[in-house]
Amino acid sequence: MKLSYNFFKSVLLAVMLANVVSAAPFTGSLKHTTTQNHSIRDLVVESFHPESSFETFGVEGIAHPLSARDEFDVKEATVSFIQSRLNVHPDTVSFRTSFENDVAHHAFVEQQVNGVPIANAVANVAFNKANQVVSFGSSFVNTTSVPSTTPSISLEDAISTAESQLSGKFNEHPATLKFVAKKDGSLALTHVVQIQNDETGAWFEAFVDAHSGELVQLTDFVAEASYLVLPITKETPTEGFEVLTNPQNIAASPAGWHSDGTTTTTVTAGNNVITFKGAQTNTTTESSPVLNFIYRQDPTQDPIVPVNVDAARTNAFYIVNTVHDISYIYGFTEAGFNFQNNNFGKGGAGNDRVTVSVQDAAGINN
């Protein structure tokens, strides 16, 4: 990542927003692509997530092709909106699920080609109660080459490949056939199988190419830590919170974010930062083991209701640790007197982690 003025602006804004749970209307768009390498022994699988964009259209929203209808059908509205927005055939859109709350109707879809869904090309649409579109996120892809939808490698062979490469056993969860969009724009037809190892606790969703037999994509269900946060690349809450899995950089935080190498916690306190409200004993505890911090902020309630305090402590914990890890890579290390309790014998001075008091009683909404 390049450190730019915009980056710091977004960090500052995010830190401020950790204190003020804001629901300011936002109109704009954002795009990013990610790849993640999983290393299992000598095996490296590079999992690709296509460029995703997220746009919001203010509280009033924008019309979709079926807005004028009296009856709202979430499936038809979603498909017609995506078709017109992305200029794709309705057959490209495979409706998955939807849910409704007091303010909006949310729909989730997968892109499909020749009737086969693309596992990593998805989209979501939110409608307000006036039947207008208020947000749209998409990682749909333009595909350069589409393989045959008839596998040339059997499911049994794909399972044995996955079992041997991932040192586990197929767990009998029903296998599916899906495309995976690759970095070069091509699609791979894959057998999707779940592999578990009860002894090591490993649990993967493996995508084995049904034509080449290669393991092309991997989802690791057993993550060390997950946080529901506003990613540092986003500026405002309306751009969408995401669950980030293992966002820590081990080169910068060798013991992770919840340990100083000696003491390990299951709260928002670690070697680089502690986030709390009122007193340093009042941190946020994991929402579920192991180290999941999934607290969804509720902008319709006061900032000080517990779920919003938990969301704020979690977000501030993520932001400050991320700033620690990024600036470390750029030279703000122990020897440069960075902020850490334990400096692991690498110079500088310890016992100076950042203490973040969220929604401090001395003044809120500041």
Ligand X SMILES: *[C@@H]1O[C@H](CO)[C@@H](O)[C@H](O)[C@H]1NC(C)=O
Residues at the contact surface with ligand X, assessed by CB under 6 A: 35, 37, 44, 46, 86-87, 140-142, 277-279, 282, 306, 309
Min dist CB 188 to ligand X, Å, is 17
274: which strand partners?
Answer: 269, 355
Min dist CB 85 to ligand X, Å, is 9
Q: 37 or 366, CB closer to ligand X?
A: 37
Q: 110 or 235, CB closer to ligand X?
A: 110
Min dist CB 335 to ligand X, Å, is 26
Min dist CB 93 to ligand X, Å, is 11
Q: 131 or 284, CB closer to ligand X?
A: 284
Min dist CB 309 to ligand X, Å, is 4
Q: 29 or 171, CB closer to ligand X?
A: 29
Place of tokens 């999941």: 292
Q: Is 214 among the annotated ligand-binding positions?
A: no
Contact between residue 366 and residue 356 where contact means Cβ atoms under 8 Å apart: no
Q: Which whole-number Å values give the CA distances from 69 to 15, 103, 105, 109, 181, in the listed order? A: 43, 20, 16, 22, 35
Q: Which whole-number Å values give the CA distances from 292 to 223, 226, 258, 288, 317, in the listed order? A: 9, 5, 12, 5, 13
Place of tokens 């995703």: 52
Contact between residue 259 and residue 274 where contact means Cβ atoms under 8 Å apart: no
Position with the least CB separation from ligand X? 278
Q: 94 or 160, CB closer to ligand X?
A: 94
Alpha helices for 286-344 (secondary structure H): 306-329
Contact between residue 308 and residue 302 where contact means Cβ atoms under 8 Å apart: yes
Amino acid identity for residue 34 in this structure? T
Residues annotated within the binding site for Zn(2+) are 224
List binding-site positions.
224
